[in-house]
């Protein structure tokens, strides 16, 4: 077994000028990823970052690994090809709420349902930043932007709910400025075998500043931290909690001694994603009680590994394939 040399954050920093707006939340995410990479124990030449188009998609330039700045929305498709043919590589997909959920929505959900061996990090700032402030698939109803001067009429996507609906095997959410929490979530995602989806609430201080302020800072009233095996409670003094009530829905209650034993205990390893999905629906956006952390983490066969097993079995049964024979087989004909 080849040993991996001891690496530090500096080994993953490139000589490229980081060109995001001053104060952008992308800086915090980049620093966090560069810091956690040495802990994964993967050599730099075995790491690939793939991105699409958008502010977040400059990410591969700033990681001293292999990288691919691809085309709008197609990062999951390109990353799928890499991961399926090179299972020895650790493949990350960096995308945004516009890139990943608009033109790239179809590629994203299929990568998740197939359980490709990818770590997908979606930066969600609820706006189009690179193209200067149009509403995005996660912008709230009524959002006034350059492309919706009278307010958006679109009902927004909930990225975590979407990932759970696609039956992703790892689904989580964090916040750009929650350094320790984000590092923990990203590390768990990167170590997961299969498709790991992490939504990161990321502040765009130019076009959508303060969108997630209700979830940030000490004593944030709306931030609900999910911890496996722990009762779900929140608030500055942990005075509120989540209970499952008759009719199969969740409610927020003030905690009293009499009610504490009724609190819902979070189970990230539950095979049925129903409760995790219900947690995503507590609020339509960060203006209400919003869970962060790992919603779901389960195991399912990984697409690339299953594909390789299928190929190996075919080779063992029939011998190596012949492309010319395939192309000139019984299903071809000549046109006079």
Query: How many residues in the chain?
Result: 336
pLDDT at 218: 65
User: Any idea what the Cα angle at residue 41 is, between residues 74 and 49, rounded to 5°?
Assistant: 15
The rounded distance, in Å, linking the Cα atoms of 73 and 70 is 8
pLDDT at 284: 80
pLDDT at 2: 61
Q: What would you measure as the largest C-alpha separation in the chain, in angstroms?
A: 86
Q: pLDDT (tens digit, 9 = 90+) per residue, 179-218?
A: 999 999 999 999 999 999 999 999 999 999 999 999 987 6
Whole-prediction pTM value? 0.94
pLDDT at 320: 84
Average pLDDT, the chain: 93
- Asked if 132 and 139 count as a contact pair (C-beta separation under 8 A), the reply is no
The rounded distance, in Å, linking the Cα atoms of 77 and 88 is 18
The CATH superfamily assigned to 9-211 is: Thiamin diphosphate (ThDP)-binding fold, Pyr/PP domains (3.40.50.970)
pLDDT at 290: 95
Which residues, given as ranges, of the chain have pLDDT below 50? none
* DSSP strand pairing (170-175 vs 119-124): unpaired
Domain edges within the chain: 9-211
pLDDT at 287: 84
pLDDT at 121: 98
């Amino acid at each position: 077994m080849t040993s991996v040399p001891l690496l530090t954050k500096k080994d993953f920093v490139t000589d490229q000028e980081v060109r995001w707006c001053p104060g952008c939340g992308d800086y915090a995410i980049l620093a966090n990823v560069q810091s956690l990479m040495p802990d994964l124990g993967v050599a730099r030449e075995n790491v690939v970052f793939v991105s699409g188009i958008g502010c977040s998609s400059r990410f591969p330039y700033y990681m001293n690994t292999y990288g691919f700045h691809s085309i709008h929305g197609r990062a999951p498709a390109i990353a799928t090809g890499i991961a399926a043919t090179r299972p020895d590589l650790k493949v990350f997909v960096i995308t945004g709420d516009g890139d990943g959920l608009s033109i790239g929505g179809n590629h994203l959900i299929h990568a998740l349902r197939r359980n490709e061996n990818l770590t997908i990090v979606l930066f969600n700032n609820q706006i189009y930043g690179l193209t200067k402030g149009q509403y995005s698939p996660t912008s709230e109803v009524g959002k006034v932007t350059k492309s919706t001067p009278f307010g958006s009429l679109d009902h927004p996507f909930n990225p975590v709910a979407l990932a759970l609906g696609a039956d992703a095997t790892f689904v989580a959410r964090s916040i750009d400025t929650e350094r320790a929490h984000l590092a923990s979530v990203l590390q768990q995602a990167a170590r997961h075998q299969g498709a790991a989806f992490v939504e990161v609430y990321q502040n765009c201080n130019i076009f959508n500043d303060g969108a997630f302020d209700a979830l940030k800072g000490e004593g944030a009233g709306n931030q609900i931290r999910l911890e496996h095996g722990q009762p779900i409670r929140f608030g500055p003094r942990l005075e509120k909690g989540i209970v499952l009530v008759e009719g199969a829905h969740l409610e927020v209650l003030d905690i009293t001694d009499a009610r504490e034993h009724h609190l819902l205990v979070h189970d990230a390893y539950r095979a049925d994603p129903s409760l995790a999905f219900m947690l995503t629906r507590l609020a339509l956006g960060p203006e209400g009680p919003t869970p962060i952390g790992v919603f779901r983490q389960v195991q399912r066969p990984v697409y690339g590994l299953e594909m390789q097993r299928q190929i190996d079995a075919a080779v063992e049964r029939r011998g190596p394939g012949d492309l010319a024979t395939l192309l000139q087989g019984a299903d071809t004909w000549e046109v006079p």
